[in-house]
Amino acid sequence: MSHLKAPRHTPGALRKAFLAMSGDPRNFPGASGSHTCFQDAVRTLNTLQTNANYLEMVKRKRGDPQTQLEAMKLYLARSGLQVEDLDQLNIIHITGTKGKGSTCAFTERILRSYGLKTGFFSSPHLVQVRERIRINGQPISSELFTKHFWRLYHRLEETKDDSSCVSMPGYFRFLTLMAFHVFLQEKVDLAVLEVGIGGAYDCTNIIRKPVVCGITSLGIDHTGLLGDTMEKIAWQKGGIFKSGVPAFTVLQPDEPLAVLRDRAQQISCPLYLCPPLQALEEGGPPLTLGLEGEHQRSNAALALQVARCWLQQKGYQDAGELKASRPSLPGQLPLAPVFQPTPRMQQGLRHTEWPGRTQLLRRGPLTWYLDGAHTTSSMQACVRWFRQALHRCERPDSGSEVRVLLFNSTGDRDSAALLKLLQPCQFDYAIFCPNLAEMASTDNADQQNFTVTLDQVLLRCLAHQQHWSRLHEEQVSPDPWSTPSQEQDGPASLLLAPHPPHTHSASSLVFSCISHALQWITQGRDPLFQPPSPPRGLLAHPVADSGAMVLQEAAAIHVLVTGSLHLVGGVLKLLEPSLSQ
């Protein structure tokens, strides 16, 4: 990237301006050897974010992506490591469009059940940035994060070339480098790496010899970076394949699957198609998953194959007894083995936790449904899960039920398409807000984001509200989730229990931050979320005023939070204060 001319507002300029206000990190206590405040480390890390104006310029003038990978290798060398050093991490590399984080979580938990010490690098974080780097399933401590942050930061500062345009790595690159250092220092037995964006040119792809790779379900996302067709996106994802390194994928549409197959063949990568989870359950007990939602079965099937392959590659005997193999069809990918999951594999699947994905929180009369779905395919899965969960829940003996949508969408995603998929859920209220936990974020460094401006995010929320109102006015498209041949109370139906329309069924509101939105939704009825009195004027709107009375009197309130993992993270930060400690 050194051939790009830096504009006036480069990341370096932003960083200098920030340090002028908050103090040079070399003056922090951490620079002289003692432990500085974790929040100081996070604030300094945030200065490595790319500001909104510069990000737009880079998108327009993006150079050779291979150059970016070479730059990452130089950063690694400046940090004191060589690419060969990463071979000893015994890496499992996972990419995909939807479910890659859940697949990583399943895989990590399965292998931890074998007594292995695991490292796990993921993104984005929900509440605290240290969630991105985990040891044995737990985010590294604030002390460990702070120690490794300053050690890496100062090493990179000391070796930077001021004549270069980009002398410090960006936010995600820095955290990737830091994860490598942490995992090596902590002597993990293996590291599960989740790709950030794409695969081929993602900065995690500097690794040479992973033990095994996996690709989850593909869909349309990050089109500005990866391409606007499934085939282009599949090409990018297949970039993590390595010669001679086994790779696995789940069932994909024919065209992108063919791209993955060709990518693998070109470099002699053995690529296998995972049989469905049902095939692994035959002849044994049904597998219990720690994550809800039918779509998690595909992620679990991939995780089992990846984990078993890793165990076999490392010489473990207890890796599941083979069942009768299924022949592959000519011209298609060979099928991965059908095997009996071991008790330790079953335990790992059962105990997997991955917050913010098909997560339920029951709090008094409120039930929170949290899922960071942000593509059309993942939103379809989210809606199925939400409707199934509503279908299972007990109806109150008396009083009304209210359904609330809390939504935001960012980047180049098609928010209108996402909202259309949500419309048949029959929400009484649709609430839109930016991914800001609170308006004053000075004490909330983990949630700071310099890549967008406040004006941009508020205008985006107003656009979401307009999309929602337009969809309600049209009301011409049939419900894509209903099946005419099934009765509403049939066992296979995903239809909701009868929900009589209310006069306020089309109501929508925009709030300036998540905290204000939650204050209005909860009306003081969530036993753990008890913020100070709402700001003056928060309810100075007819819809907000009348809706408050409905929410205060409802016997049950069902709140779906979706559209963005960052939104889900902000909600969790406020609903579960312990996550911030």
Burial (0-12, 13-18, 19+ Cβ within 10 Å), 435: buried
Q: Please give the span between the terminal C-alpha atoms of the chain, in angstroms, as a whole number.
A: 38
What long-range pairs does 348-351 form, CB within 8 A, spacing at least 24? Answer: 348/106, 348/109, 348/110, 348/111, 348/112, 348/113, 348/307, 349/106, 349/109, 349/110, 349/287, 349/288, 349/289, 349/290, 349/300, 349/303, 349/304, 350/287, 350/288, 350/289, 350/290, 351/109, 351/113, 351/290
Q: Which residue has the tokens 């050779």?
A: 64
How is residue 222 written in tokens? 């990050």
Sign of the CA dihedral with 235 first, then 241, 242, and 246 last: negative
Q: What 8-state DSSP symbol labels residue 528?
A: S
H-helix segments, 475-513: none
- 123 annotated among ligand-binding-site residues: yes
Q: What 8-state DSSP symbol labels residue 230?
A: H
Question: How big is the chain, counted in residues?
Answer: 581
Helix, strand and coil percent figures for the chain, each rounded to 5: 45, 10, 45
Burial (0-12, 13-18, 19+ Cβ within 10 Å), 561: buried
- 222 annotated among ligand-binding-site residues: yes
CB 371 within 8 A of CB 380: no
From residue 278, give the alpha-carbon distance in Å to each of 157, 283, 294: 52, 10, 12
Residues 216, 228: Cα–Cα separation, whole Å: 18
SS3 at position 184: helix
Bond prior to 498 in cis (omega within 30° of 0):
no
Pairing label, strands 190-194, 91-95? parallel
DSSP 348-382: HHHT---TTSSEEEEETTEEEEE----SHHHHHHH
Host H or E run for residue 139: strand 138-139
Residues 459, 11: Cα–Cα separation, whole Å: 24
Residues 150, 399: Cα–Cα separation, whole Å: 55
CB 550 within 8 A of CB 504: yes
Q: What 8-state DSSP symbol labels residue 49?
A: S
The answer for 533, left when phi > 0, alpha when psi is -120 to 50, beta otherwise, is: beta
Order across the sheet with 138-139: list the strands: 138-139, 133-135, 118-121, 190-194, 91-95, 212-215, 247-249, 271-273
CB 449 within 8 A of CB 528: no
Q: What 8-state DSSP symbol labels residue 131?
A: G
SS3 at position 581: coil
Q: Which residues are annotated as a binding site for ATP?
A: 357, 371
Q: Which residues are annotated as a binding site?
A: 123, 194, 222, 357, 371
Q: Which residues are annotated as a binding site for Mg(2+)?
A: 123, 194, 222
